[in-house]
């Protein structure tokens, strides 16, 4: 198999792979950031309007959390399909499913119009979102990392998180702009526009992804497996050939999974509910965060190519834990500029370091025949246990502390410590060009042929 040196630029095939992967991540994060923003500032009034404000907020964040519980299911199912059939079919299917689910949310009438059916429909589409999102990151990360040049896999893998930055810009920008319209129009209709717009993004992703090709590493691995055993291996079984890495992958992902949802999603709820600040202020800050994330993510990826994924991720964990207190302290000032500084300090500087590194690091922890499944297990279960529950945990902690935010600081620090320990214990193989497992398969095939 030919390889591409670090000094060369991307081939047309590699460019298409990176672009196709990044736009899927854009839609994944667009859908989830958008839902997070709406669950903080819109859904309590639209779908849970008859409840006490605190109960309405908890109910809204509960639907946010429930969507995460189908992500591991989708991750395993789509991961197995991706490792057995091919990553392209997964990436085409998941992006269409995400677009349809998010558009469906934007078309649900309010609870005042259709009663209990409104929150039930919201829950249904949220579960659909979770199922399709569950297969997105594993397939995209695997294709991009396998296609990237040796020595630059961290940087190109981080472009997936640049796509997430674009998602922040688009979702936060649309919600901020529409939220500035006076009167009740935003709560009644305006918030729906960004959700319906998801279908436009899905169509663009299908167009970009229709020419994607499987990596040479994937196709050669499949050929060697079939020639040596007469059948394809079970990706779920292969992922657990390294049970330590499978479990550690979940624990490693916890800090990055809560970073955005603590600072941006719950942070917005904290400002609106506890400090009575206008929601557009937080939306605008999210847009600024996204702009910076587009640039900062590949920078951290590049640094990880120089000093190692493990080192960068640990720096991100420790830095994020240290920034939660100053971020929320700035949120309490009510000053727009200081609030934006808090969002940048709390998420962009160190949260993005974790996100930019995680997908590539997980890909380097699993063999090619189970890589999509392994990445999905670590990424999606950690996002379910971490990100999905983070906002509702923060609401409960702050309510129990009488409005004080110090329990959120402690919660973030504990999760960060778990991430640091798991990262230190994981077995990470930086070369995913096949020098490890693929080399073993080649040797096995040669021995069998000579015999």
Could you give the residue ranges of the DSSP H alpha helices within 230-278? Answer: 235-239, 243-260, 267-269
Burial-class residue 447 by CB neighbours within 10 Å (0-12, 13-18, 19+). Answer: exposed
Calpha distance 70→129 (Å, rounded): 8
- Among positive and negative, which fits the CA dihedral 309, 313, 315, 316? positive
Based on DSSP, count helices (H) and strands (E) in the chain, helices before strands: 24, 0
Q: What is the pLDDT of residues 142-167, one digit of tens each?
A: 778 877 888 888 898 888 888 888 88
Q: What is the largest CA-CA distance in the chain?
A: 80
Calpha distance 339→328 (Å, rounded): 8
Calpha distance 430→298 (Å, rounded): 17
Q: What is the pLDDT, as a whole number, of residue 392?
A: 85
* Intra-chain end-to-end CA distance of the chain, in Å: 24
Angle of helix 390-400 relative to helix 406-425, nearest 10 degrees, comes to 140
pLDDT tens, per residue, the chain with 451 residues: 333 344 356 677 777 777 777 777 788 778 877 888 888 888 998 999 877 787 888 888 888 888 888 888 988 898 888 888 877 888 888 889 999 999 999 999 999 999 999 999 999 999 999 899 888 877 787 778 877 888 888 898 888 888 888 887 888 788 878 877 776 888 888 899 999 999 998 898 888 888 777 766 667 666 666 666 655 667 777 777 768 888 999 999 999 999 988 998 888 888 877 667 777 788 888 888 889 999 999 999 999 999 999 999 999 999 999 999 999 999 988 888 999 999 999 999 999 999 999 989 998 888 777 778 888 888 889 988 888 788 889 989 998 998 899 999 999 999 999 999 999 999 887 654 445 555 555 545 555 555 5
Calpha distance 240→40 (Å, rounded): 38
- For the full predicted model, state whether its pTM sits above 0.85: no
From 3.30.70.1560, 2.40.37.10, 1.20.1250.20, 2.40.30.10, which CATH number describes the 12-450 domain?
1.20.1250.20
């Amino acid at each position: 198999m030919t390889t591409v040196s670090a000094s060369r630029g991307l081939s047309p095939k590699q460019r298409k792979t990176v672009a196709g992967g990044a736009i899927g991540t854009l839609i994944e994060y667009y859908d989830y950031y958008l839902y997070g923003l709406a669950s903080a500032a819109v859904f309590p009034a639209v779908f849970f309007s008859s409840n006490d404000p605190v109960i309405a907020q908890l109910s809204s964040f509960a639907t946010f959390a429930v969507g995460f519980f189908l992500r591991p299911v989708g991750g395993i199912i789509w991961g197995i399909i991706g490792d057995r059939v091919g990553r392209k079919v997964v990436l085409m299917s998941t992006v269409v499913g995400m677009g349809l689910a998010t558009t469906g949310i934007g078309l649900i009438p309010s609870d005042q119009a259709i009663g209990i059916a409104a929150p039930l429909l919201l829950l249904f589409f949220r579960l659909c979102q979770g199922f399709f999102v569950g297969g997105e990151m594993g397939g995209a990360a695997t294709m991009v990392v396998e296609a990237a040049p040796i020595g630059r896999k961290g940087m190109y893998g981080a472009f997936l998180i640049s796509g997430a930055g674009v998602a922040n810009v688009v979702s936060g920008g649309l919600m901020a702009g529409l939220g500035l319209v006076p009167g009740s129009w935003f709560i009644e209709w305006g918030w729906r526009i960004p959700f319906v717009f998801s279908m436009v993004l899905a169509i663009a992703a299908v167009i970009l992804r229709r020419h994607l090709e499987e990596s040479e590493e994937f196709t050669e691995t499949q050929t060697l497996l079939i020639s040596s055993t007469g059948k394809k291996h079970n990706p779920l079984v292969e992922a657990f050939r390294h049970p330590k890495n499978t479990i550690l992958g979940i624990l490693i992902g916890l800090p990055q999974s809560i970073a955005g949802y603590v600072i941006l999603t719950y942070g917005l709820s904290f400002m609106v509910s506890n400090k009575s600040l206008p929601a557009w202020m937080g939306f605008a800050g999210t847009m600024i965060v996204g702009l910076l994330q587009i640039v900062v993510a590949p920078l951290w990826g590049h640094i990880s190519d120089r000093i190692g994924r493990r080192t960068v991720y640990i720096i991100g964990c420790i830095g994020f834990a240290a920034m939660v207190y100053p971020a929320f302290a700035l949120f309490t000032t009510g000053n727009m500029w200081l609030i934006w500084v808090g969002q940048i300090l709390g998420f962009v500087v160190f949260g993005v370091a974790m996100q930019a590194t995680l997908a590539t690091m997980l890909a380097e922890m699993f063999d090619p025949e189970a890589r999509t499944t392994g990445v999905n297990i670590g990424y999606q279960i950690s996002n379910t246990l971490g990100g999905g529950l983070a906002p509702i945990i923060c609401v409960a902690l702050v309510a129990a502390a009488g409005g004080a935010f110090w329990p959120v600081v402690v919660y973030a620090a504990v999760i960060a410590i778990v991430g640091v320990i798991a990262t230190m214990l994981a077995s990470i193989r930086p070369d995913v060009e096949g020098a490890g497992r693929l080399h073993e398969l080649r040797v096995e095939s040669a021995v069998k042929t000579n015999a």
